[in-house]
Structure 1
Amino acid sequence: MTEHDPLDAADELNRRAAAWRTEPAADTRIEALALAVSANLPVLLWGEPGIGKSAGMRQLADGLGVPLETVIASVHEPSDFAGLPVIGDDPAAEGVPMAPPDWAVRLARAGRGLVFFDELSSAPPAVQAALLRVVLERRVGSLALPEPVRVVAAANPPSSAADGWHLSPPLANRFVHLHWTHDPRTVARGMAGTWPQVTIPLVDPGRAAGAVAKARGVISGFLTARPGLAHQLPSDAEARGGAWPSPRTWEMALRLLATGYAARASREALTAAIVGTVGDGAGIELMSYLDNLDLPDPDRVLADPGAFDLPERGDRQLAFLTSVVSAVQGELTRRRWEAGWTVLAKAVDAGIPDVAARAAMDLAALRDTSWPVPEGIDAFVDLLRLSGALGR
């Protein structure tokens, strides 16, 4: 008679209970997370315990085909992120290197991956300060993490976290803050054995240059119209530990917007990511501005500069001209540079030389000295002479 381990039957039962299948589904949370990860921006997932933040990370790592390293921030010391000193034969000559932890070494060997810092809000301020270098400089001890390694963290609200702390403003202002919630219907279907299989938005290389140019025009035009939103540090500690507008987060928003254009992300996912970067007020206002902007594709305009109509509104004109100059800068050729002047000449003919003046100075600065001065520059000669750009 063969003896069986008493736990064999229990293990078989557990395997059956853990088995599940997937079906295609849309998930704004995962799409917004993937969008920020594609833009190589650190992400912070806020949510109550037990609602699937870790499961979302596993799904994202599987979708991207990269390894996942999970680090529980709250149980580590600052030295675990700053590195432990390793004294060699001659410290005075060679210095004292800081040894990185094993998870960082594995990611460096893989050359790509996701590092997931869980329970960040439960980590004391000294640990958060040590993590700041990992997020900001991508260094763990003496080891530099490869560029394809992405950083994601998770935090419980201080009200539900054991010994929770507010995040320091310098650390909080470097994250895209996403609120992680659960859908009761998804949970119910998952208990029946079927979970959603989410499609990860991927950047189309052919759209990258135009996407960046268009995003530059949008953000620049918006902040020109709403300069008061360039930097707004919240007054209370809890708000300072979340998303708020600063020059740093507007640069993050620009990268998110460009990635969203290039990946054809949904508006819902893009809104969640933008709001998680510059805050509710500024983010919602930007998305409303974007809905009414409807900018032409700058690359198409440069391909045929005589066949477009200039936007009527002043803010749209500024955003459009900024995107055109940015597109020229992104792929600088004589033909595209001259097409840019054709576009600016239309702005002068439309009676808005003041809007085109700044774009003209930026476009003039891109000129190769071997290129002749185009006809469209005539309306800006005096301005460019004063700035010195014409001489260059």
Structure 2
Amino acid sequence: MKPSQIVSALATLMDIRQPAFLWGAPGVGKSQVVAQAAASRGLELIDVRAVLLDPVDLRGLPRIDAQGAAVWCPPAFLPRAGRGVLFLDELNSAPPLVQAACYQLILDRKLGEYALPEGWTVLAAGNRESDRAITHRMPSALANRLVHLDFEPDLDDWLSWAEGAGVDSRLRAFLRFRPKLLHAHDPLSGEKAFPSPRSWEFVSRILDARPGREALGALLRGAVGEAAALECLGYLDICDSLPETDAVLANPGGVRIPEEPAAIYALCESVARKASDGAMPSLAVLAGRLPVEFGVLLMRDAAATEPSIVETEAFKGWACANSDVLVV
């Protein structure tokens, strides 16, 4: 399931307080999706990294009450009231004894003398065994009490999130051009760094820091691996070689159209960010000079930037001229 479908599914499960387990490769954004699903329902989120716990951490510490009996004091991170999601991240990476300590909490909503408040749902997540991450096989008794959801990264979902999160626009254009690099993890390769939604966010933050060229190359290789870093650096060089966006809009009929597809992608992305009703005549001229698929890409991105352009005469004229390739 892609992230947007996961959010919808988790919202349903939270409404009925059904425990679930989210399976996915490292770095695809499982934790962020759970947080998004909780926020969509206005629920508090408590994120507990199960792999960092000892078996006694969930039970708490004993004390002696007034009658001389031992009473367990549950840990402060377990909720006492309200409504929310208790998220046990990396649950199947935790040692078997820690997983066993979670059984009663997941299955019976209790842990010794502690009871999970009525308004709370338990969700969990972890890596797949096939990803060769550190995992322990989930006991069948626990697995049978959970709804299991498989997480698969999706470019359109990631691009939508990345735009709102302020991810560098050049990276968004690069991954649109090379969608297979959004997540490319080969468990057998042994490479420490690999492309993933999480590591591309790292790259965006690195670009924001504006390191020198030599340092940038080393940092990108350390974030997404050698091959992806080389492709990304080449794309960034193309972006830097393009004419200024204002100059393109000032002379859309005379600007040189690049021959390389990657350069055309970069040109479309940079110009689309300047979309406005006033710029629409220039955009229409430029789109008409591009290969038809890139013209459609430019107009689609421009309309996403400024939806009002679809009401302009220039846009309507371009749409009429390209009606045979537009999908209603």
TM-score, normalised with respect to structure 2: 0.47
Determine which structure has greater relative contact order: mean sequence separation of CA pairs < 8 Å that are 6+ residues apart, divided by chain length.
Answer: 1
